[in-house]
Chains A and B, each alone.
Chain A
C-alpha cells in the first residue's frame, strides 16, 4: 500500500477525468494521473511515461532505469507480487 509500484502508461482513457491505462509488470489496469499532469505536461502527452503508482494513482514520473530498479527491489521484498495480485483481485469484483 505504501510503496509505489512502477508502470508504463499505454493509453489515455479519459482526458477530463484524467484516467489512463498503465502496464504494471504485464498487468494492465486503469489509474488516475491527475497528480503527474500540468500545463507543461498535459494528459495527452503521458503515453509512454514511466510512473510510480500508489493505490491506483500515478504519483511521480520516473525514468525507465529507475522503474526497472524499483520493480526489482519490490519483487525481492515480495511487495510487487502482492500489489499485482491485489490489482487483479480488485478488478475482478
Chain B
C-alpha cells in the first residue's frame, strides 16, 4: 500500500515543515547524530507512516517508534496462557481481533480456534459480558489488553458483572501502564533520546501530570500529541522549540481531547478494580517494575488468573527476532535479519509485524521512508 501523498491541509503541512526546517537550521545538533524524538504511541506510528511524515522532515530529525502498541509488546508466554485458558472445555475465550494472530510459542489464538477452542472476536468487553449472560453454563473469559485507554472499559465491565451478579465471567488481565515503561526506556543504558511525543488517548484518561518526571528529572521535553498529520508535525515543532530554548516541560498539543486532569470517572473505575503488579513482562523489553495491573482481591471472582490454572511460563522471544532493539530504536525494522523474509505481516514471527501500529508492519506496508528506500 502506498502512503497518502496528499492529505487535508497539505498546504498547512508544508508550512509546518518549513517552520520545522527553519527552527532546526538555528539549532545546535547533538554531536555526530540527528535529533531523536520518540513517539510513544502506536497510533502515532501508524499515522506517521500512512502520511509519509518521516520523509517530509529534515534529515537532522529522526523519529524512534516506541513501545506504545499493546499487541506488539505482548510476550509469547502470555499468548500461550491465553491458548491454555481457551482450550479448557467449557470456556468461551473472548478477545479483541488485534490479538488473534499474535504468535505464541506453539500457536496463536487463531490457530487454537481452528483446532477447536471456542475463541470469539469481540469489539468490546461488554460484548464478552453479554456472551456470559447468554451462556450461563459456560465460563466466559475476556482477554483484557491495552494501556490506560482500554483499562477503564474492562474495569467498568467487571463492576457491571458484579452489579448483575454474573459469576461465569472473568478477565485475563494483561493491561499495562505506560509511565513505568517510559521510565525504563529512559533508564536503558546507551539510549539517546532528545524528546517525546506523548500518547493522545492514554493521556485523555490519565491527564498530563504523570509525565512531569520526564521533564523534571530526565530533562526531556514531552508534548502530548493528536493523531492527525498536522497534530504530529506541530508537536514535533513544539518538542524542537523546547530543545532550542533549553526547556524541558510537559506540553499539551491535544488539549481539545486531553484535559490536563484526565478523565475522573475512568480513573476512579481503574483504581477501584485494579492494583499494580510488582512487575510485568514485555516483549522485547523484558520485565518492567510496576508496569502492569491485576484485579484487586475484592474482584478475585472475576480474575481468570485465580479461576484457572495458568502455565505462566516465560518464553524467550525467537532468537532471530530483534523486536526489542527495534522498540528501543537501536536498529531500524529493515535492519532486522528476518524483516520481510521469515517475518512478514502474513506470517509474523515478531509481534511488531502483527499490528498495523507496529513499526515493522508499518515499514513493510508503507515503505515510504527515505532511509529505508536508500537501504533497499
Contact = CB atoms under 8 A, between A and B. Distances in A.
A79 to B, nearest CB: 8
Q: Report the contact-size class of chain B (Cβ under 8 Å from the partner).
A: 35 or more
Residue from the set B124, B227, B269 with the largest chain A CB neighbour count within 10 Å: B124
Interface in A69-92: 69-70, 72-73, 76-79, 82-83, 86-87, 89-91
Contacts of A90: 121-124, 127
A76 B149 contact: no
Nearest to A76: B4
B263 A35 contact: yes
B319 interface: no
Interface string B355-367: 0110000000000
Interface in B98-126: 98, 120-126
Given A57-B156, A72-B8, A93-B120, A1 B126 contact: no
A54 B123 contact: no
B153 A32 contact: yes
A10 interface: no
B212 interface: no
Contacts, number: 126
Interface string A46-76: 0000001011110110100010011011001
A2 B127 contact: no
Contacts of B152: 35, 57, 59
A55 B123 contact: yes
Contacts of B120: 93
B52 to A, nearest CB: 12
Contacts of B205: 59
B265 interface: yes
A15 interface: no
B93 to A, nearest CB: 13
B195 interface: no
B147 interface: yes
A72 B120 CA distance: 29
A76 B7 contact: yes
A60 B263 contact: yes
B261 to A, nearest CB: 13
B150 interface: yes
Contacts of A38: 264-265
A62 B227 CA distance: 15
Given A1-B70, A57-B126, A77-B50, 4 more contacts: A2-B70, A4-B204, A70-B228, A86-B97
19 contacts: A1-B70, A2-B42, A17-B160, A17-B163, A30-B126, A32-B153, A34-B269, A54-B153, A55-B146, A59-B201, A66-B256, A69-B228, A72-B8, A76-B50, A77-B356, A86-B121, A89-B123, A90-B121, A90-B127
Interface of A: 1-4, 17, 29-32, 34-38, 52, 54-57, 59-60, 62, 66, 69-70, 72-73, 76-79, 82-83, 86-87, 89-91, 93
